[in-house]
Amino acid sequence: MLEADYLVIGSGLAGLYFALRASEHGRVLIATKRAASDSNTSYAQGGVAGVLDPDDRIETHIEDTLRVGDGLCNRKVVESCLREGPEHILRFANELGVPFDRGPDGQFELGREGGHTARRIVHAKDTTGAAIHRTLLQRVMERDDRIQLLPDHLAIDLLTTAKYGGPNAVFGAYLYDQTTSEVKTATARAVVLATGGAGKVYLYTTNPDVATGDGIAMAYRVGARVANMEFFQFHPTCLYHPQAKSFLISEALRGEGGILRLRDGTAFMHRYHEMKDLATRDVVARAIDSELKRTGDDHVELDMTHLPGDFLLDRFPNIHQRCLELGIDMRRVPIPVVPAAHYCCGGVAVDERGRSSVRNLYAIGEVSMTGLHGACRLASNSLLEAMVYAARAADDVKSARSDRPGHVAPWYAGEATAGDEAVVVSHNWDEIRRLMWNYVGIVRTDRRLERAAQRIDLIRSEIRDYYWNVRVSGDLLELRNLALVADLIVESARRRRESRGLHYTLDHPDHDPRLARDTVLARGDGPVV
Ligand SMILES: Cc1cc2nc3c(=O)[nH]c(=O)nc-3n(C[C@H](O)[C@H](O)[C@H](O)COP(=O)(O)OP(=O)(O)OC[C@H]3O[C@@H](n4cnc5c(N)ncnc54)[C@H](O)[C@@H]3O)c2cc1C
């Protein structure tokens, strides 16, 4: 049995920053399902949004966030989060030592991204997330007297008192050790979900393999409220190349003057929005989707060739290097791009301190739904949100009281024998991701959603049979979560009979003011069980 004051699930920005701060007052156990660096955080390119330029104003950042959120942001949350954000950015830079880019005068070099009306993105070249992650991990390692990090430990399910009688409270989790196949029991005063996003639910995604929505699924299974799952952000520009797996071409390229063109060289964004290539992601992704459908092409192009070559090399060394490996020199030829699933705006519904609706269960970072993003996330607000909520949760968790029962039942593997039908698992993975891409993607319809719901229902019942009959494996556990998350997305999308933010349906193309509210799902409330 593993024991700590706080059990953190996930080792991205949210989990590591929480652990550092909470280690001031308790022992922290971090379980992470692969290597510590396997996270969306490590892939972030653009940077962190925050008002740090004296000529910029918090009010403008607030207005930008609310406008992009399309009527669903929680204004109080937006205001407090964006006001608190810059102090964390400064702490990351000055106390933790993240090497954000600075000009000769020592001031941050600020980038601009879609939807922002000012330059306010702090970055470390085009590998900001990796720089943040490396630094945070180093700081966590230095606290090994207070923080224990367990790589290759995949959280299966949360432990709750409901099973033992009494009100629902979380007191730990079962962890699957991927190296030994052993299932361990971990208990704590509070459990913090920092499991990141769910991009793997779609066929094409910018997310790494760990992003299978596990935290959302685990929280939903113990009765926590989950909200706004219909709002999945598609990044407009993922590299289109048969040998490139999910490589993002950052929005910052358009921020620096990149122009989207059809394959014949025609620019098209002016036909879709007055901000042209710097319109918000949902507008740009839909514009590309519509142009691809109209022309029959399989990609569009991002043209950087009119910008100075030296500047491109200096500002985007990582992207340049990756493209060059594939024979694309962005100084000379345009970069082929397509949209891909990128960011899950919905998640475990939490209050201003990161508390879910179930006692002693917190959710921070991409796994959560705080009210900051509303119906569409403003670029680079997510790392900021992860910083703010990790810090708040670390302060709040101090007062959590243990609900652990006297005796905790160990994991029961039953009569299950090792699974010899891996092909069923991989088939279902593939089917879910394809049907989500085709039926629940950038443009939706009632019929497509209905079809998706029927298929997912069937797949989930198949998984349920399979799950209880074989010994668990990492793939099977992730598949079970992925299928539930797909179901939650489809159910939320079916309930929103209007178009808003990232949710666009041909059958209800306009806003319906009566639906300007969150879509909240909880076990027992509706069709998803
Ligand atoms: C390519 C790319 C570029 C991006 N660029 C930006 C940007 O410029 N600015 C910005 O603000 N945002 C950006 N984002 C989004 C941002 O990176 C994420 O929202 C943010 O990093 C999420 O941090 P997190 O700590 O919540 O989750 P993550 O960093 O994803 O960490 C989640 C962790 O949980 C672990 N985990 C998951 N399930 C389990 C389980 N069952 N058991 C144990 N461990 C588990 C994972 O292995 C991982 O360690 C980008 C995302 C991508 C993919």
Q: Is 281 a catalytic residue?
A: yes
The answer to whether residues 366 and 14 touch, using CB atoms and an 8 Å cutoff, is: yes
Is pLDDT of 64 > 70?
yes
User: In ligand 1, which atom is closest to the CA atom of 47?
Assistant: 8
Side chain identity at 513, as an amino acid letter? Answer: P
- Taking residue 177's Cβ as centre, other Cβ atoms within 10 Å add up to 15
The pLDDT assigned to 419 comes to 61
User: In ligand 1, which atom is closest to the CA atom of 133?
Assistant: 29
Interatomic CA distance for residues 450 and 17, integer angstroms: 41
Interatomic CA distance for residues 388 and 516, integer angstroms: 26
The 3-state secondary structure of 29-95, one letter per residue: EEECCCCCCCCCHHHCCCCEECCCCCCCCHHHHHHHHHHHHCCCCCHHHHHHHHHHHHHHHHHHHHH
Side chain identity at 273, as an amino acid letter? Answer: H
Among 158, 213, 150, 140, which residue's Cα sits nearest to residue 178? 150
Q: pLDDT band at 115, cuts 50/70/90?
A: confident
Interatomic CA distance for residues 290 and 282, integer angstroms: 12
Q: How far is the CA of 332 from the centre of ligand 1 (A)?
A: 33
Q: pLDDT band at 414, cuts 50/70/90?
A: low
Mean pLDDT of 187-211: 96
Interatomic CA distance for residues 458 and 477, integer angstroms: 17
pTM of the model: 0.95
Instruction: Please tell me which residue in 225, 281, 377, 433 is annotated as part of the active site.
Output: 281
The rounded percent of the chain whose pLDDT value lies above 90 is 87
DSSP 228-281: -TT-EEEEEEEE--TT--S-B--THHHHTT-EEE-TTS-B-GGGT-TTGGGS-H
The pLDDT assigned to 394 comes to 98
Taking only the tens place, the pLDDT of each residue in 330-361 is: 999 999 999 999 999 999 999 999 999 999 99
The pLDDT assigned to 489 comes to 98
Instruction: Indicate which residue's Cα is closest to atom 17 of ligand 1.
Output: 41
Instruction: Indicate which residue's Cα is closest to atom 14 of ligand 1.
Output: 44
Interatomic CA distance for residues 369 and 372, integer angstroms: 8
Paired sense of beta strands 190-193 and 361-363, if any? parallel
The answer to whether residues 160 and 171 touch, using CB atoms and an 8 Å cutoff, is: yes
